[in-house]
Copies of this chain bind each other. A is one copy, B any other.
């Protein structure tokens, strides 16, 4: 069995952003030598998520607007600690923070429009995503 673990670093210029990381994940899978297995992509910071959906600017805006409607910037109890990012913790929760991608015949086995995004909800600081490939 083979395994490979890599960490992707992000420091987005904007507070909120969607960064398409499909190509970077594909490269790690190729380097792993795994032919049949799983590739985990998981945001290691609790104000960031992983979104698998369409690379379409309008939809990306619709998605962010839905999150703002469901988990708006507001005066959260979490802010008593001095933090101001309560909404980002909740947006990560609704988005989901990890994807388990199948690897088949040495490649990411994604649907025709599935793209993998790092979803930043409290950026402008260095944060990590773990990518771990396991298989044969």
Q: With a CB–CB cut-off of 8 A, which chain B residues contact A113?
A: 45-46
Docked CA distance A76–B69 (Å): 14
Q: With a CB–CB cut-off of 8 A, which chain B residues contact A36?
A: 3, 5, 134
Q: With a CB–CB cut-off of 8 A, which chain B residues contact A94?
A: 93-94
Q: With a CB–CB cut-off of 8 A, which chain B residues contact A102?
A: 5, 40, 42, 130, 132
Q: With a CB–CB cut-off of 8 A, which chain B residues contact A63?
A: 89-90, 93
By the criterion CB–CB under 8 Å, are B58 and A93 in contact? no
A3 in complex: contacting residue of B3, B66, B95, B136, CB < 8 Å:
B136
Residue of B nearest to A132 (CB): B102
By Cβ-Cβ distance, the 6 closest A-B pairs, closest first, are A44-B111, A58-B77, A59-B78, A3-B36, A58-B78, A102-B132
Residues of A near any B CB (own CB < 8 A): 1, 3, 5, 36-38, 40, 42-46, 51-54, 56-59, 61-63, 66, 70-71, 76-81, 86, 89-90, 92-100, 102, 104, 109-114, 128, 130, 132, 134-136
A-B contact pairs, 13 of them (CB 8 A): A40-B102, A46-B111, A58-B77, A58-B86, A59-B76, A59-B77, A61-B77, A62-B86, A62-B89, A66-B93, A93-B94, A98-B100, A109-B130
